[in-house]
Amino acid sequence: MIPAMRKVVVAGNWKMHTTPAEAGELARTIAARMREPAVTRVLCPPFVCLAAVRDALAEAGEDVAVGAQNVHHELQGAYTGEVSAPMLSGLATWVIVGHSERRRDAAETDEVIAGKLNRALEAGLHPILCVGEPLAAREAGADVAEAIVLDQLRGALMPNAGEALTGLVIAYEPVWAIGTGRNASGADAAAMADAIRRKLGPPMVWDTVPILYGGSVTSANVDEFFAEPSIDGALVGGASLKPDEMAGIVARAGVTARARLAVASAMRASRST
């Protein structure tokens, strides 16, 4: 499927920042600065801030979705400190799954991430599945990096199939670029997005899946990624806490989204004549 048919998504991952009192005001400020209806916009605050952000966005009348940063792979049980997918009902409509910091700090395996993805889909949440290679793999060559990313995808998606994945978004986040100030090139990110779509099928499903780039994304470097037809948005880390940065990123995403809408409209018009 051509890029015109895929939605453009910008999601902000606040990680372990903000208290509930801070989060609501920050969400209002950021949302007011990134009013771009052609772009799907998501803010992912810490668990304890979900209600505050939800309420602040609703009170302000902002069309910005709320996402959680994680979800447990079981529905319930003796898992102290964990949050299940049903618990997110009414608080979030999106969720990040498989972030490299969770893989590293919580030793999340592909099997665990597959369970999280399943629970999210069952609960009607829109999952953002994160994949990405470490620095050693990137330095070993594009083929090695691609193999690792595709292994992560296969591991997470093995129990899932077909139309159940039509709500999925994938974020390619090279581990070496997260929080380091380094970022992949637009060409490298696009090549990985193409590999994901080429290697995993069936095409009628996978060609519709938006693929985002994440890893030290800023308003200064995001043009390089949005210029690539294979890249459909961004998963933003540290910059998502800064209203000016998010405004710039979403504004650039809006250019891409409106261009795609224009192409899609022209295609529909040509088919009707």
What pLDDT does 113 receive?
96
pTM over 0.75: yes
Residues 202 and 23: their CA atoms lie apart, in Å, by: 40
What pLDDT does 179 receive?
78
Which residue among 62, 133, 173, 228 is the active-site one? 173
173 is catalytic: yes
pLDDT, tens digit, 9 for 90 and up, residues 147-156: 999 999 999 9
Which residue among 99, 108, 146, 245 is the active-site one? 99
Q: What integer is the mean pLDDT of 89-114?
A: 96
pLDDT, tens digit, 9 for 90 and up, residues 120-167: 999 999 999 999 998 888 888 889 999 999 999 999 986 555 545 668
Residues 91 and 115: their CA atoms lie apart, in Å, by: 21
Q: Of 158, 157, 103, whose CA–CA distance to 132 is shortest? A: 103
Chain CA centroid to CA 73, Å: 19
146 is catalytic: no
Please spell the DSSP secondary structure of 52-101, one letter per residue.
Answer: HHHHHHHHHT---EEEES---SSSSSS-TT---TGGGTTT-SEEEES-HH
Query: What are the residue boundaries of the structural domains of the chain, listed by start?
Result: 3-272
Q: What integer is the mean pLDDT of 30-57?
A: 98
pLDDT, tens digit, 9 for 90 and up, residues 193-215: 999 988 766 666 677 889 999 99
Please state which CATH number belongs to domain 3-272.
Answer: 3.20.20.70
pLDDT, tens digit, 9 for 90 and up, residues 200-258: 666 666 778 899 999 989 999 999 999 999 999 999 999 999 999 999 999 999 999 99
